[in-house]
A and B are shown apart, each in its own frame.
Chain A
Amino acid sequence: MNESSDHLLRSRRSSDGLFSRFQVAGLVVLTLIAIISKFYLPRLIPSAVWLEVPLLLTIYFGLMRPDPVPALLFGAFVGISEDSLSPANLPIGMYGITKTLVGYFAASVSQRFNVGNSLIRLVLCFFFYCFHAFFYWVMRRALLQQIVPFDTQLTLLHGAFNVAVALPLYLILDRMKLSDER
């Protein structure tokens, strides 16, 4: 297999990707619901403050679409949307940068590994949640000089919690994609 055939395969894979099956409008609506849920859900369920549905969507989009460019742009869009609802003492771009990297790395991983297996997706989801939390904490310390505590055990616990939410969420998203194929 030479580079031309690899390119042909890759271009076919891209056209077969998420945008062809998973409509853009649906994705935008899902993103908006995720951001609104993060904005409002903690009012109903206080412990839901640790639920990172926008991050789970970013990871899913990255894993399902092996091309890193759309994945990182989607991550940037979701992150900046979240930033615009963050406290005014946090400048816009903190979540944007973090989720850009998450989207890029998720897509890069999906280029090299078979991420169709649910278990692998959940492990990656847990890893990216921890990466997201740690990188955000580093940026607040390094770029903003804000001393905020980082609780490792709590982060791991919340990562597991998000993985538990990701399991049914990804199944629903998979089902939506399949139903679109019929």
Chain B
Amino acid sequence: MDAIFNRYRSYRSLVVLVVVVMVQVLYLAYQVKTGRDERLIRVWAVSAVTPFSGIFEAIRHNTVGFMKDYFLLLDVREQNSKLKTDNDKLRMENVFYRNQLATAEHARALTIFQAKTPSKTVAARVIGDSTVSTAKAVFIDRGSTSGIEKGMAVVTPNGIVGKVAAVYPLASQVLLVTDSTFKVGVESQRGHIHGSLNCGSGHCVVEQIQNEEDIAVGEWFYTSGEDRVFPRGFPVGTTLSVAQGNGMKDVRLNLSGAPGGVEEVLVVLEGVHQPIPTAVPPEEKMAPPLVPPPPDSKDLTGVPAGPGQTEADKMIQKYEQLGKQQDHVYGAMYSNMPNYNVKPAPKPVAPAGLTPGSPASTPPPTATAPPTQTGPVVLGAPVVHSTATGAPNHATATHPPAVRPTAPKPNLPLGSPRPTATQPVTPKPSASNPNATQPQ
């Protein structure tokens, strides 16, 4: 009897293995068959993990970055006190661009984009990645309590990022466009040629484009709205290479949204279709990412930009002002570290051109919007100066966010019929909309 028991005991582990694997296979088959997502397990797991991830992200974002900037600034200031050389200026400019571009301008770009886009959006921060290395997905710190629902599009001012794959109370999972299972309906800027973006093979290609179609290298692609996820008119990327294939063209795309490395995103709560911006002459160059402020404007600190002041000088003034306000002595040991994220105390004279309730006076965290811009100008928008006045002419720029026509746009809800490829992309003048511009 004992021998029989021992004989069966040797098979015990095999039996347990088969049972455990079979249970999981059946459970998996049930999920695939019914298409049901086992929400309870995922909610528990995400709710248990995201608080830790949120804490880590907050520590990294606020402490580590702050310490890095602090020591860098301290180093630069010591050198600057010894000699005012060009090298020091370059370092200060580096600090300036790193601080301002990475934080304030990024937030400002999101805010301006959020304010200008006809779609209703909510900003979110990326707090974690997926556990599957081959799948491209991230978690953001907004969930169903912020009005986010499954299937919503996720974008940045520069381009598309992905779609909401799962929603939890305080977090959501975003499937990136670079995931192998994700396809996006896209449309070329010049010929309005429709295709399907697929990034599953390691590089992003636009499929379903006939060899006879004409696609130029560098041409922009926009969302076509056919996938029922992204509203029409969001920038996707530029054409990297075009090659004749077996019946279909091999069009490779360079994504403009950088979905893998993005830190802040916008979730489109209510999408509105927009027209595809018109094509522009290829000789026009991209402008630098920052729109330069007009000569009479104030800088970010509220300090007037006097003649001869460089960006490094403004930076020094700003940080000296912050240090004085918070009783910090630069270079002294045990001196409390100042908080560089607070806004310096404003000067008694209010900046000209800003009225209460204007977009520039509303929440943007550390920066104000350029005061003289009338169109939907976004960070990274190219600026083309007109020959007559030298004023920025954003209507003819090449970068997607800036080429939106300034005339009233036909804001179409999701699912409504859109202009076809043969129709002009900008609205024609009509009785109801006489100010609409013709395509250029």
Q: Does any Cβ of B come within 8 Å of A101's Cβ?
A: yes
Known contacts A43-B126, A68-B17, A72-B17; decide if A97 and B201 are in contact (CB<8 Å).
no
Across the interface, which residues of A come within 8 angstroms of B53, CB to CB? Answer: 36, 39-40
Tell me how far the C-beta of A119 lies from the nearest C-beta in chain B, rounded to whole angstroms. 26
Interface stretch of the complex, out of B23-31, B100-108, B243-251, B358-366: B23-31
Q: Which of B28, B44, B128, B135 contacts A87 (CB 8 A)?
A: B135
Contact call B46/A148, Cβ cutoff below 8 A: no
Q: Does any Cβ of A come within 8 Å of B311's Cβ?
A: no
Q: Does any Cβ of B come within 8 Å of A143's Cβ?
A: yes
Across the interface, which residues of A come within 8 angstroms of B130, CB to CB? Answer: 39, 85-87
Tell me how far the C-beta of B215 lies from the nearest C-beta in chain A, rounded to whole angstroms. 25
Q: Which of A3, A7, A85 contacts B45 (CB 8 A)?
A: A85
Q: Which of A82, A91, A107, A108 contacts B28 (CB 8 A)?
A: A91
Across the interface, which residues of A come within 8 angstroms of B38, CB to CB? Answer: 91-92
Binary contact track B225-266/A, C-beta < 8 Å → 1, others 0 = 000000000000000000000000000000000001100000
Binary contact track A77-114/B, C-beta < 8 Å → 1, others 0 = 00011111111111111111100110010011000000
Contacts A43-B126, A92-B38 supplied; 15 other A-B pairs, CB < 8 Å: A3-B3, A4-B6, A36-B53, A39-B130, A43-B57, A46-B260, A49-B133, A50-B133, A68-B17, A69-B13, A84-B45, A87-B137, A88-B42, A95-B132, A104-B13
Binary contact track B8-20/A, C-beta < 8 Å → 1, others 0 = 0100110011001
What is the bound-complex CA distance between A85 and B50, given in angstroms?
10
Known contacts A91-B31, A96-B24; decide if A85 and B16 are in contact (CB<8 Å).
no
What is the bound-complex CA distance between A85 and B46, given in angstroms?
6
What is the size category of the interface that chain A forms with chain B?
Answer: 35 or more
Known contacts A69-B16, A93-B27; decide if A40 and B128 are in contact (CB<8 Å).
yes
Across the interface, which residues of B come within 8 angstroms of A49, CB to CB? Answer: 129, 133
Q: Give residues 32-51 of A contacting B (CB, 8 Å).
A: 35-36, 38-40, 42-44, 46, 49-50
What is the bound-complex CA distance between A87 and B233, given in angstroms?
27
Q: Does any Cβ of A come within 8 Å of B290's Cβ?
A: no
Contact call B24/A93, Cβ cutoff below 8 A: yes
A103 closest partner in B (C-beta): B17
Q: Which of A72, A81, A97 contacts B16 (CB 8 A)?
A: A72
What is the bound-complex CA distance between A27 and B53, given in angstroms?
20
What is the size category of the interface that chain B forms with chain A?
Answer: 35 or more
Contact call B27/A100, Cβ cutoff below 8 A: no
Q: Which of A35, A42, A69, A93 contacts B129 (CB 8 A)?
A: A42
Tell me how far the C-beta of B160 lies from the nearest C-beta in chain A, rounded to whole angstroms. 17
Q: Which of A39, A72, A82 contacts B128 (CB 8 A)?
A: A39
What is the bound-complex CA distance between A69 and B13, given in angstroms?
5
Known contacts A43-B129, A149-B201; decide if A87 and B165 are in contact (CB<8 Å).
yes
Tell me how far the C-beta of B57 lies from the nearest C-beta in chain A, rounded to whole angstroms. 7
What is the bound-complex CA distance between A104 and B201, given in angstroms?
33
Interface stretch of the complex, out of B174-182, B281-289, B291-299: B174-182
